[in-house]
Each structure stands twice: as C-alpha cells, then as structure tokens.
Chain A
C-alpha cells in the first residue's frame, strides 16, 4: 500500500503542474469549467431535468411548440415535450457516443500504429496500406455506407465512426514511433536484452501518446458533429431518443417560425464542440512546452 502511494505521488505532482498551466490560460479554464458542468449534467441528467417523462415518447399535444417560458426554458417541440429536458439529456447521449467512438478507434489505431512504426519493413507496409484503404473514403460516406449495411441505430453509428476514424491515430502514432525508436533509451533497452514486444508497448508507445491525446480530445468535438450528422440524416439515433442532431432534423420543418426547436440543440452542439477544441489546445500546451504561448 505504501508502495502504491509512493508511486502515486509523482503523478499527483505532475497533475498539479498541469492544472497550474491550464489555469494560466483563462479561455481554457472557462472551457474546462463548462465541460465539467456538461459532464456532470450528463451524469445526473435524470435528477436535473424538470420533465423526465419527456425524454421518452410522452406527448402533450395541447402544449405543442410553445416558445420559451418560465415552465419550459427552451420551449416545447411538436409533441409538447420540454426541449430543455431533452437537450440536457442529449448531452449524455452525445458524450457517451463520442467517447465510445474515439475510445474504440484509439483501441484499434494506437497499437497498430506503434507496431507499424517500431517494426518497419513489411509489417509497416501491410498496416499502412490498410489504413490507406480506409483513408481513401471520406469518413462520413464510409460511416454512412457501414450504417447502411449494419442497420440504423446509435450503437451502429458509433461502431461505423470508429471504423472510419482509427487510421488517423495509426498514422499519427506511427510517425511518432519512428522517431521515438531512435531515442537512446530504446537502444539501451535493446542492449539490455528486453524483448521486442516489451520495447514497443512499454518504451515506445507511452512516449508516442501525447499528440494522440491532443488529437483525440479535439476529435471528440468532431465525432459529436459526425454523430449528430448521421442522426440528422436518420442513420444514427432513432426516435424518440433525445439526440441533438436528430432534434435539429425534426425541428428543421418548423424553422424559422418556431426557432427554439432547432436553435437550442444547435447551441448545445456548438458549445460542446468548442469546449473540446479549446481543451485539446490546452492539453497540447501542457504536453508540448514548445507550443506554449509566449
């Protein structure tokens, strides 16, 4: 136990340093606070929202398409459901699918990239040509095609996005691995006689991961957009799931007369994506001192 605590101490210290660097930049601090609020509201959505039954198939036709008011902060939709409740709950849907998609692509992409970069030769060739195949389709089109095969549902959309997204991480980490494997500590491990796999996964990969973390945190924003786009096209979340893209798609017919139906889910997407991008920038600054603002 004491060993564990001792192992933890340096990590806590570097966490403290990261927070210090983050706090120096006001914009990223704001982004972080907003993001924490978003995550919390996604976690506690059930408790927070005023009309829990409205996230499902409830209908109060008598109340339909009301403008924002004290009872319904963001107005109501065509079935009289509270848009505020649906937008807050939508954070949970979007964050879960975005984290799922990015996580899955990292799981596929990172080890493949590390192996390709470290081995080189034919292994590298095979893996990289495979990524080329995936990269030669526009990601959204590839995802649409995959959803068409798998059937439209939110989980399938997440799967399709991960399958079209992983090659970017593979490329990124391969490039890093090629330079990291020339570092002296890798040579040192080779002279020590450490096995090749251990060198790849314990020496090379941890040292390649920083740019991938930056990229992934920025990608979360992009993936939220892609999920929303797929849902907008009817290929992702299905009714009555309160997914932001789907809500915009439904509200489109009432725009611009009943503007609140489209605008509020749109603003939610906008704020979330912006925050993830700002946080991505901040993480880059922390991990790579060279890009720190003068």
Chain B
C-alpha cells in the first residue's frame, strides 16, 4: 500500500448555474519520501484537492460526493473535524500556502505566531523552551538572524523571508506529508530558486513526503520525482518527471511544455524606423517623511536617472525583480506620475507637463494593457462601453457608428460580436485580456505598453495572446514596451532589452546580444535562476543570495555589489557609469570588459 493514496475522489460545487464537477480523481498514490508534482493551471482543481485532503474545503458550496483519502491506510475523510485538528493537521500533514504576504497574521510577531503553534501541539512546553525551539526552526530554514526575526512583525519581512517562516511553521510539528501549494507563486525568480533549494534540502534531511502543486512544468522538472497533470479536475497523465517531459502523451501536457520552452522562440527582426520615444535622465523619487522616527527628507528612488530611445516598430522588453522600478518607470512615462526630473520626448515633441491639449494627443498615442485583466476592466460596465471608452474621449461618433467601431475592434482581437452586451466576469482571463487589447487599440495609438500581458492567464491563452500581439503589431506598425518577468515572453517579442535593478538600467541592448552574451552579473544571475525543463535536480539551479537593498538607502558604490559574485573592492565605493561596450550594448558594471567570458 502506498503511503498516501486518493481513490475515486469526486468533489462537486453547487452554484446558481447548477452543480459542477470540480474534481474527479480516480487514483493518485504517493510513496513515502517521494516528491509528487501536481501540475495544472488555475481553475483545474489543484487547491480544491489540497484543501479537501485536510477537510478544509468550504462545504457548501463544495461537496465531497464520494471517495477515500488514505494516509497510511487511514481514511481522512471519515475522521471528525476534531480528530483532524488534533491528530492530522499540523502533526501529520502540513501545508505551505500560496501567498506568503497574506497568510501570516499581521498583528502578531513571528515569535508569538511560532511559539503559539508549538505550544498548541506540545502541551506543557514552557514559553522559553518554545522560543528556543522556534529559533532553531528558523535557523533550519536558513534565516540567518533568527532571534531578531522572532521579534519582528510579518510586514517587516520580505516575501522570501516570510515564505521561509511559513516553511518553518510547517516543519514545527514534525509533519511527514507536506503539501506545498504553489509555494513560490508571488516570489521573484531569484528567490524562487532559493526557496526550492531549501525545500529539497529539508525534505531529504527530514525524510518528508512532498505533494508539490505548481502551475508550471519547469518548476516541477527540477523538483519532483513524479508528475501528474491535472486538467478539468482529472489527472489526465501521470509519469516520472523525465519521461513526462521527453515523451508527453496528452495534447494539454504538450501545451504546458511548449509554454516553458524558451529556446526555440525568438523575436523577428524589425526594421527600426525613426525615433518614436526618447527618455532622458528620467527620475522619480517619492518623498518619505517619517515623522515618528524624526527622519526627514528621505526619498525612495524608484526610478533613478533612466535614459533610452525607442524607434518606431521596435519592442523594448524591461526585465528585473519586483520592486526594481519597472512599473514606476512606465507609469512615469505614461504621465500617471509626475516625474521628479528628466524629460520624455514623443515624436520629437516633449510629452511631459505639456498643456492639456498636447497631453491629450500624447495620451491618445500611448496606451497600456495591464497585467491583470480581472482588475483592469470595470466590472460594472458592459463590454461595448469598456471598448468604446477611448472612442468617446477622442472622437465624436454617433451611437450606431460607435457600436460598429467596437464590433470591428472586437473582431480584430477574435471576440464574437455578442460580447458587446455582456459583463467582464462572463469571460475567461484570456478573453478579457483580448478585450483589454481591443480597448487599448481603440484610440489608434502608436505606442502600446504591455505590462506583464500574459502572466495572469492560462497557458492555452498565453500562446494565443502572444500571437495576437505579434499579428496586431505587424498590421498597425505598433511600437511596444513590454514589462515581464517571464523571459520566454520577452525572448519571443522583444528586440531590445533593458535590465533594471534598483531604479537603474544596468544593461541595455539588443535582445539577441543580451540573451547570448549577458555582460552584467545581475543579468546573468537573473537568467540562471530560472529553472528550465533541462534542469534536473537542484544542482543546476543557481540562486542569487541576499535581498534587494532598500531603494531608500541604496548602498554606496554599485548597487548590486552586496549580492554580486564578482564584486571587487572598487565596486563598494565607485558608482559605475553606463558605458557603451560596442554596438549600442550599454552596461553599467565596472568590470564589464573582464566578463566577456561570463558564460
């Protein structure tokens, strides 16, 4: 008998539309000590499964129709909730949740959260002993300064640190089965790699069994022994990792695989036209006056002296960890923020601080597609009104003409006409993103900014959206700025790349050049941290240690020196200037010339 087994589990969900099957698993078995990866996109039932195993599923609307969940032969679904709480959850099964930002109670210190858990599990444990044990656990998850972290509140920790605290909590009671529900989802690639390494290490040390839930095959390929693909609530394919990746049987598996293959795709070369957008020494500082701590005149340098030019027809990809200033840069260019200093030129005319009229023509020509189509469309508007919004601002058209334009735009992005009279919530993520693209094109812009256009939609739609973007770009001769943490997407679309770190562009140049020969150690580290399908085991995954320094008090010298593997003494004191190292490839690293052989 397997250590953990699920048989004929069927879960339904009841709503206004009727009863719907959300999960239907015939058989799933995990052996002791194994790492089992469950891969599927959002909405396929991964989280429902994780919750159902622990009797944490909300019923109703959910309902467990039939089936067994066996842990060492004992059916967990038959246990009372009291038994579950006392003997299973925490002590035998532990769970790491998706979002480290929201699953630690913000009003308690890390120490009191941890000792609380420890003392509930082990009756009669003194407070002091519990604190000691908590500190040991934090050391085990490689949080260097365990004692000081115990006295901190969750908001004072970074995302990576919080996730480590949550892992420590999961370990606290010696659980043997660990359910990790997309543990690295909202984390940066560099931190993701180190969290995965930590999990693997702990698993080997403690002999845990791990049920690893992910939405991305490349994570699983590095981490898991066996993989099951979840689609529409069913496990449609199951195999050892290596076999599944090399010889997928199902079409859906192949789509998932294609989504993470980066090697094969790259952007088509473009003939750059004349200059469209020029950004000169753009700075955006946010003043922070902390009156409680009597610190005045501090400023957060979100965008610090950024300059670049973009020609007609080009696609500029901006990459970097979260908090590096990507979005602030774009928002400042778009006039959503007042810049502290610097200038933006659009078609040779100043675009910032122009009068209302001039500003409007700039706004008409520059549009943005946001990351999350769930939030970027007003939920209370009909689709026809959403798409017509820019038309109403810039053109005076009658109702009938306006509707005709809207239908044309929708047809262009592949949305049927009858969508006009529906609300955004009736569409899937991919369709909503299409609607958002239709809206962005409604004012006939010249430059379209794409802010992570595919990161919150499923892989099937991702492909189609990318194809749509490419197609529209060709048809209308659009110029794009693309923000993305997904280097595959950047690789596929961008001709030029800007790598940002702490508000500065540290490397800028043609995409081909940067992907093939990254010169800045940060660019290199960023590329290395991304697991690919060829990564087997954790050794292939390089991690970038340390946290991003605070942009309020950036370290002197090169901002990256604290985390840089190549830093020398000079890097600690001297601020590197951006230099052209040939062919428009700009790097700001003192030792760039030495790194010709960085690969």
Chain A contact residues, CB within 8 Å of chain B = 6-7, 9-10, 16-17, 20-21, 183-185, 187-195, 203, 206-207, 294
Residue A190 contacts which of B58, B336, B364 (CB distance < 8 angstroms)? B336
- In the complex, whether B363 has a CB less than 8 A from a CB of chain A is yes
A6→B393 contact, CB < 8 A: no
B393 and A7 contacting across the interface, CB-CB below 8 Å? no
Is B375 touching A192 in the complex (CB atoms < 8 A)? no
B16 at interface by CB-CB < 8 Å: yes
B367 engages A20 (CB within 8 Å): no
Instruction: Give bound CA distance, A17 to B368, whole Å.
Output: 34
Neighbouring B residues of A189 by C-beta, 8 Å? 378, 389
Instruction: With both chains docked as a complex, state the minimum distance between the C-beta of A41 and any C-beta of chain B, in angstroms.
Output: 31
**A191 interface neighbour in B334, B379, B392, B422, Cβ under 8 Å:** B334
Chain B's closest residue to A182 (CB) is B375
**A188-B370 in contact given A6-B420, A183-B375 (Cβ < 8 Å):** yes
Is A192 in contact with B367, judged by CB distance below 8 angstroms?
A: yes
B376 touches A (CB below 8 Å): yes
5 contacts between A and B (CB under 8 A): A184-B371, A188-B370, A189-B389, A191-B368, A195-B393
With an 8 A cutoff between CB atoms, is B377 at the interface? yes
A188-B376, A194-B389 as given contacts; A21 in contact with B16, CB under 8 Å = yes
Quick check: is B273 within 8 A (CB to CB) of the other chain? no
Which B residues touch A185, using CB under 8 A? Answer: 375-378
CB-based nearest B residue for A18: B16
Q: Using A193-B360, A193-B390, A207-B379 as known contacts, say yes or no to A188 and B421 having CB atoms under 8 A apart.
A: no
Residues of A within 8 A of B380 (CB): 206-207
B382 interfacial contact with A, CB 8 Å:
yes
Residue of B58, B368, B375 near A294 (CB, 8 A) is B58
Docked-complex contact B378 and A9, CB < 8 angstroms: no
Establish whether residues B368 and A20, one from each chain, have CB atoms under 8 Å apart when the complex forms. no
| Structural contact, A193 and B364, CB atoms closer than 8 A | yes
> Chain B: which residue is nearest A7 at the CB level?
B421
Given the known A-B contacts A185-B377, A188-B439, A294-B58, are A10 and B390 also in contact in the complex, defined by CB atoms under 8 Å? no
**Chain B residues whose C-beta falls within 8 Å of the C-beta of A193 in the assembled complex:** 360, 363-364, 390, 393-394, 443
Task: Indicate if the CB atoms of B421 and A10 lie closer than 8 Å.
Answer: yes
Closest to B377 in A: A185
Most buried by B among A7, A185, A187, A206: A185
The distance from the CB of A7 to the nearest CB of chain B, in whole angstroms, is 6
Q: Let me know if B393 and A192 touch, CB within 8 A.
A: yes
Task: Decide if A203 touches B390 in the complex (CB within 8 Å).
Answer: no
The 0/1 profile, CB within 8 Å of A marked 1, for residues 378-401 of chain B is: 111010000001101110000000
Chain B residues near A188 (CB, 8 Å)?
Answer: 368, 370, 376-377, 436, 439
Contacts of B422 in A (CB 8 A): 10
Q: Out of B60, B390, B423, B426, which one reaches A192, CB within 8 Å?
A: B390
Whether A16 lies near B16 (C-beta < 8 A) is yes
How distant is B99 from chain A, measured CB to nearest CB, in Å?
16
In whole angstroms, how far apart are the Cα atoms of A7 and B336 in the complex?
33
Q: Taking A6-B420, A185-B375 as contacts, is the C-beta distance between A194 and B393 under 8 angstroms?
A: yes
Q: Which residue of B lies closest to A183 (CB)?
A: B375
Interface pair A184/B367, CB less than 8 Å apart: no
Residues on A with beta carbons closer than 8 Å to the beta carbon of B360: 193
Q: What 5 A-B pairs have minimum CB-CB distances, sorted nearest first?
A: A184-B376, A6-B421, A193-B363, A184-B375, A17-B16
> Which B residues from 518 to 549 make CB contacts under 8 A with A?
none
B13-33 contact mask (Cβ, 8 Å, vs A): 1 or 0: 000100000000000000000
Once A21-B16, A193-B360, A193-B394 are accepted as A-B contacts, the answer to whether A207 and B378 lie under 8 Å apart by CB is yes
State in angstroms the CA–CA spacing of A21 and B421 once bound together.
24
CB distance from B174 to the nearest CB of A (A): 30
Inter-chain CA distance A103–B139, complex, in Å, is 60
Most-contacted residue by chain B among A9, A20, A193, A206 (CB, 10 A): A193
Complex Cα–Cα for A7 and B399 (A): 14
Give complex CA distance A207, B58 in Å. 27
CA distance A21 to B14 in the complex (A): 11
Q: Which residue of B lies closest to A9 (CB)?
A: B421
Question: B363 near A192 (CB under 8 angstroms)?
Answer: yes
The smallest C-beta distance from A281 to any residue of chain B, in angstroms, reads: 18
